[in-house]
Amino acid sequence: MRALIPATDADVPQIVALMNRAYRGSATSLAWTTEHGYITGDRTTEAFLREDMAASPKASLMLWRDTEDGGLKGCVWLQPLGEGLWYLGSLAVDPDRQNGGLGRALLGAAELGIAAQGGRRVRMTVVNVRTGLIAWYERRGYRATGETNPFPYGDNRFGVPQRDDLCFVVLEKELPA
Ligand SMILES: CC(C)(COP(=O)(O)OP(=O)(O)OC[C@H]1O[C@@H](n2cnc3c(N)ncnc32)[C@H](O)[C@@H]1OP(=O)(O)O)[C@@H](O)C(=O)NCCC(=O)NCCS
pLDDT in tens, 14-60: 999 999 999 999 888 899 999 998 999 999 999 999 999 999 999 99
- Contact at 8 Å (CB) between 11 and 72? yes
pLDDT at 75: 98
Q: Which ligand 1 atom is the nearest neighbour of the CA of 90? A: 47
104 lines ligand 1 (CB under 6 A): yes
The burial class, CB within 10 Å (0-12 / 13-18 / 19+), for 8 is: exposed
Q: Which ligand 1 atom is the nearest neighbour of the CA of 100? A: 11
Output the CA 144–ligand 1 centroid distance in Å.
18
The burial class, CB within 10 Å (0-12 / 13-18 / 19+), for 159 is: middle
- In DSSP terms, 78 is beta-bridged to 60, 88
Indicate the domain borders of the chain.
5-174
Q: What is the model's pTM? A: 0.97
125 lines ligand 1 (CB under 6 A): no
Q: Which of 20, 99, 133 most suits a substitution to test ligand 1, by most atoms within 8 Å of the C-beta?
A: 99
Which has the closest alpha carbon to 107: 145, 84, 75, 131? 75
Q: What is the mean pLDDT of residues 110-136?
A: 97
Between 90 and 177, the more confident residue is 90
- In DSSP terms, 82 is beta-bridged to 85
pLDDT at 69: 84
Q: Give percent above pLDDT 90 in the chain.
A: 90
- Contact at 8 Å (CB) between 5 and 63? yes
Q: What is the mean pLDDT of residues 150-158?
A: 93
108 lines ligand 1 (CB under 6 A): no
pLDDT at 177: 81
pLDDT at 2: 66
Across all residues in the chain, what is the average pLDDT?
A: 95
Class of 5-174 per CATH?
alpha beta
Q: How many CB atoms within 10 Å of residue 77? A: 23
44 lines ligand 1 (CB under 6 A): no
pLDDT at 1: 57
Q: Which ligand 1 atom is the nearest neighbour of the CA of 124? A: 48
Say if residue 7's pLDDT is above 70. yes
